[in-house]
Amino acid sequence: MAEPATLVETYRSAVAAWECDVMGHLTIAQYFDRFGDAAASLIERLAPGPPPGAAWRSNRLLVRYKRELRGGDGIAIRSGVIAEEGEAIVVGHELVATGEGEVATLVEHLLAPRALPYGGFGAARRALAAAVVPWVSPGFAPLAEPARPERMIASGSNRVKAWEVDERGELALSGYVHRFAHAALHVCNAFGMTSGYMREHRRGLSTFETRLHLLAPPPGVGEGLVLKSGLVAAGSSSLRMVHEMRQAQSGERLALFHQAGVHFDMEARRSAPLPPALREKAQALLLSEQ
């Protein structure tokens, strides 16, 4: 029997306390391996064959976080093929907070085919293309390249550890995003939103949108990575950043990560205006023309 033309459940679990960050909610890196698992489960269901990780590689994930998830929240993901882009497929994910039944996160996940030495990709590709389901896009407007990239600051320098790689020995999606989340703290420090300020005033950064673009094959264990970051926009309470990851030795550009968030009141659990002094310092660092 053919699969119904609708999203299907591809993941079910819960948020563990150790997966939450200093803001008290699920850290954004912990979403990404779940999206990878959900995509693999969907492909396995629609086009049985080689392990999905052997046949497909994540190239882009556009994520809209509609509400925060906290320790103890039950979660499920519904997924479906929503579009084709050349030989690639786009999978849509809805992450649902199962307690309330509310969609907490929307994702558009591009997966590109790997070169398969044993063939057989064509049939799987046709099966996935035939399973496209309706999707209401969360909307991701195009982003301009930064006009002042020389203002980017050093925001990371480290090496890939064995516990960060996936079943193929490649840096897992969460391994990328943990680094970008840490890089964001260095950007905040640069305009005075320091750890001391956040602890004293009970403030933080809550992310509402991310865009991960993987530009080259993932690094493996032991490879050195360097990151640079900068502010793209600073509003009354919102901040937009861009982070870039490169291979330390070759300088090859591996990934870009766009991150949008708000100055967050950790007691009220909502956005709060940036103090004028911090906003002024942030605007002086913008990568865009002023």
Containing H/E element for 42?
A: helix 29-46
- DSSP track, 228-243: EEEEEEE-SSEEEEEE
Could you tell me if 149 and 286 are in contact, meaning their C-beta atoms sit under 8 angstroms apart? no
Percentage with pLDDT > 70 across the chain: 96
Mean pLDDT in the chain?
93
Q: pTM of the predicted model, to two decimals?
A: 0.94
Q: What is the CATH number of domain 141-290?
A: 3.10.129.10
CB of 241 within 8 A of CB of 232? Answer: yes
Report domain extents, the chain: 1-140, 141-290
Average pLDDT over residues 220-239: 97
* Mean predicted confidence (pLDDT) in 134-156: 90
> Is 141-290 in the same CATH topology as 1-140?
yes
* Superfamily of domain 1-140, CATH level 4: Hotdog Thioesterase (3.10.129.10)
| Contact predicate 259/244, CB 8 Å | no
- Cβ neighbours of residue 188 under 8 Å, at least 6 residues apart? 194, 198, 205
22 — pLDDT class (breaks 50, 70, 90): confident
Angle between helices 173-190 and 29-46 (to 10 degrees): 150
Average pLDDT of the segment spanning 195-201 = 96
Q: How far apart are the first and last CA of the chain?
A: 58
Q: Residue 215's Cα: distance from chain center in Å?
A: 14
Mind listing the pLDDT tens digit for each residue in 97-108?
A: 999 999 999 999
